[in-house]
Amino acid sequence: MRIATTIFLTDETIRPVRLAHELEQRGFDGLYLPEHTHIPVSRDTPAPMGEPLPREYGRTLDPFVALGQAAAVTERLRLGTGITLVAQHDPIDLAKQVATLDHLSDGRLTLGVGYGWNVEEAADHGVHWSTRRALVRDRLALMRALWADEPTAYEGAFGSVRASFAYPKPAGGAPRILLGGAAGPKLLAEIAAAADGWLPVGGRGLSEALPALRRAWQDAGRAGEPEVVPYAVRPTSGKLAHYQELGLPEVVLQLPSAGEAEILRTLDDFAQYL
Tell me the domains of the chain and their CATH numbers: 2-273 (3.20.20.30)
Burial of 137 (0-12, 13-18, 19+ CB in 10 A): buried
At 127-181, the pLDDT tens digits run 999 999 999 999 999 999 999 999 999 999 999 999 999 999 999 999 999 999 9
DSSP for residue 130: G
**Residue 109 pLDDT exceeds 90:** yes
Residues 6+ apart with CB under 8 A from 164: 146, 151
Rounded CA separation 162/216 (Å): 32
pTM tops 0.85, yes or no: yes
Give residue 1's pLDDT: 96
